[in-house]
Amino acid sequence: MALLEIKNVSKFFGGLAANSDVSFSMDEGMIMGLIGPNGAGKTTLFNCITGYYPPSRGEIVFAGRRMNGLQPDRVCKLGMARTWQKVRPLAKLSVLDNVMVGALCRTNSLSQAQELAMEQIRVVKLDHKTAFPAGGLTIGERKKLEVARVLATQPKLLLLDEVMGGLNPAESEEIIRLILAIKQKGVTQMVIEHDMKAIMRISDRIVVLNSGEKLAEGTPEEIVANPEVVTAYLGSD
């Protein structure tokens, strides 16, 4: 059975359809790439899936459960966690405290939360900065912090919104390795990314959105060979 099913999801803002009739499903353990030009509705879809917007139409089913109308905190508790395109560190709290906030989603004990948090901080290799206030981190470190923090909520499905945006090639490479390592642990991931090379390398399947609609879906090889996708990205002629 699919872990996540998106069934005919539409989201309207007034007359504007940010998503219209999008359907696809994800199996456990896979990485799904979500790509599309700016304004294609990728982040809106994330927001619909994680409870920030109620979808106008359609259904989101996660692990056999209908998710429509659930608040983001419930969504997180049920095992679906997201990062933010524009990173949102809890600036005045230390790196450790940031990740502990995530870990406290699963435990009420601070010492247990600290252990869980340290584990994830080591995974993203921020252990030299644990006591540092998150507001003073570089953009690369903030992105890693964001990943450590959602990992600490122990998600079954992780939704990463442009975690490589604004990073230099070396930092991007680190994030790619991180995403693949997370996959190894059996966490399913949906990844929005603009870096085509990266998305082709990590994704098992890719969904292409354009003007809110699903344009294509397939393996990376199929997507590259799809003339419609090429047109959407490069323009016709």
Partner 1 sequence: MRRPPQIPGGESGRSRVGLVAMLLVLAGLYAFPSFVQSPYALHIMILLFLGTIMGESWNIIGGYTGQYSVGHAAYFGAGAYGTMILLQKWEIAPWKGVFAGIAAALVLSLVIGSICFRLRGPYFVLASIAVAEIVRLTALNLPNVTNGAEGILMSDLPPLSIGGRVVTDFVSKVPYYYIGLTLALFTILVTWLVQHSKLGYCFQAIREDQDAAHSLGINLSLYKNCALGISATLTSLAGSFYAIYIKFIDPTTVLALDLSVQIVLIAIIGGIGTIFGPVVGSLVLVPLAEALRSNIVAQWLINSGLVREDSGLGVFLKENLAHAHVLIYGILVVVVILFMPEGVLGYVRKLSARKKG
**Residue numbers of the site for partner 1 (CB under 8 A)?**
50, 52, 71-73, 76-77, 81-82, 84, 88-94, 96-97, 100-102, 104-105, 108, 110-111, 113-115, 130-133, 149-150, 153
- Nearest distance from C-beta of residue 131 to partner 1, angstroms: 4
Give whichever of 61 and 93 is closer to partner 1, judged by the CB atom.
Answer: 93
- Residues 6 or more apart whose Cβ sits within 8 Å of residue 166: 139, 143
Give whichever of 152 and 167 is closer to partner 1, judged by the CB atom.
Answer: 152
Residues β-bridged to residue 227: none
Give whichever of 84 and 233 is closer to partner 1, judged by the CB atom.
Answer: 84
- Residues 6 or more apart whose Cβ sits within 8 Å of residue 98: 89, 90, 134, 145, 148, 149
SS3 72: helix
- Nearest distance from C-beta of residue 163 to partner 1, angstroms: 14
Give whichever of 49 and 206 is closer to partner 1, judged by the CB atom.
Answer: 49
- Nearest distance from C-beta of residue 149 to partner 1, angstroms: 7
